[in-house]
């Protein structure tokens, strides 16, 4: 499980599609008996196809700023999560070490120099906020691209 998935799980409610995507899924087509499952063919006529499912309801927006502000209030320390990836990770009780941030950078396909941690950290924070917004998070515009 990636660091971004861990961030999603900490922010989005468990019933939110973004949190569901962050959970490990069972292998598709797994065999329970160890034997391949063979479809049985019958001579019955084909059943009529069911009607198309109704369109999916729009994804519920999750107020990321409100969630993180509430978490900060109970954290017992002031963290600059609005602009610092280190403080954001600390607030979420995730590993904020340089190694962890380098792993997140790799996960998000960072093209810059990971030894330039200041530039990488700014980019990481922006990308995390963009990803939260793209997955149903309400994120203030000044924290996104």
The model's pTM is 0.73
Whether the Cβ atoms of residue 101 and residue 124 lie closer than 8 Å to each other: yes
Angle between helices 98-107 and 117-134 (to 10 degrees): 50
Residue with tokens 């087509």: 29
63: nearest Cα among 145, 140, 125, 131: 140
Buried b / exposed e across 2-41, counting CB within 10 Å, b at 16+? Answer: ebbbbbbbbbbeeebebbeebeeeeeeeeeeeeeeeeeee
List 138's β-bridge partners, or say none. 63
List 63's β-bridge partners, or say none. 138
Q: What is the pLDDT of residue 44?
A: 55
Task: Give the DSSP H/E element, type plus range, for residue 70.
Answer: helix 64-75
Of the ranges 9-18, 38-47, 82-91, 96-105, which one carries the lowest mean pLDDT score? 38-47
Does the pLDDT value for residue 110 go beyond 80?
Answer: yes
Most confident residue range from 21-25, 37-41, 97-101: 97-101
Of the ranges 41-55, 67-81, 108-122, which one carries the lowest mean pLDDT score? 41-55
Ranges of each domain in the chain: 1-9+61-139
Strands, DSSP E only, in the chain?
62-63, 137-138
Coil, helix or strand at residue 63: strand
Does the pLDDT value for residue 38 go beyond 50?
Answer: no
Q: What is the pLDDT of residue 15?
A: 79
Position 35 confidence tier, pLDDT thresholds 50, 70, 90: very low
Position 4 confidence tier, pLDDT thresholds 50, 70, 90: very high
User: Counting Cβ atoms within 10 Å, is residue 100 exposed (0-12), middle (13-18) or buried (19+)?
Assistant: middle
Position 60 confidence tier, pLDDT thresholds 50, 70, 90: confident
């Amino acid at each position: 499980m990636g660091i971004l998935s861990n961030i999603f799980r900490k922010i989005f409610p468990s019933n939110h599609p973004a949190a569901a995507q962050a959970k490990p899924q069972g292998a598709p087509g797994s065999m329970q008996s160890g034997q391949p499952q063979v479809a049985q063919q019958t001579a019955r006529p084909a059943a009529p196809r069911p009607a198309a499912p109704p369109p999916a309801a729009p994804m519920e927006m999750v107020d990321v700023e409100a969630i993180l502000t509430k978490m900060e209030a109970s954290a017992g320390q002031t963290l600059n999560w609005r602009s610092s990836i280190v403080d954001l990770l600390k607030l979420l009780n995730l590993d904020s070490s340089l190694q962890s941030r380098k792993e997140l950078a790799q996960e998000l396909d960072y093209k810059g120099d990971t030894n330039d941690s200041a530039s990488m950290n700014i980019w990481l924070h922006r990308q995390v906020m963009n990803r939260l917004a793209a997955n149903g998070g309400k994120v203030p515009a000044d924290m996104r691209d």
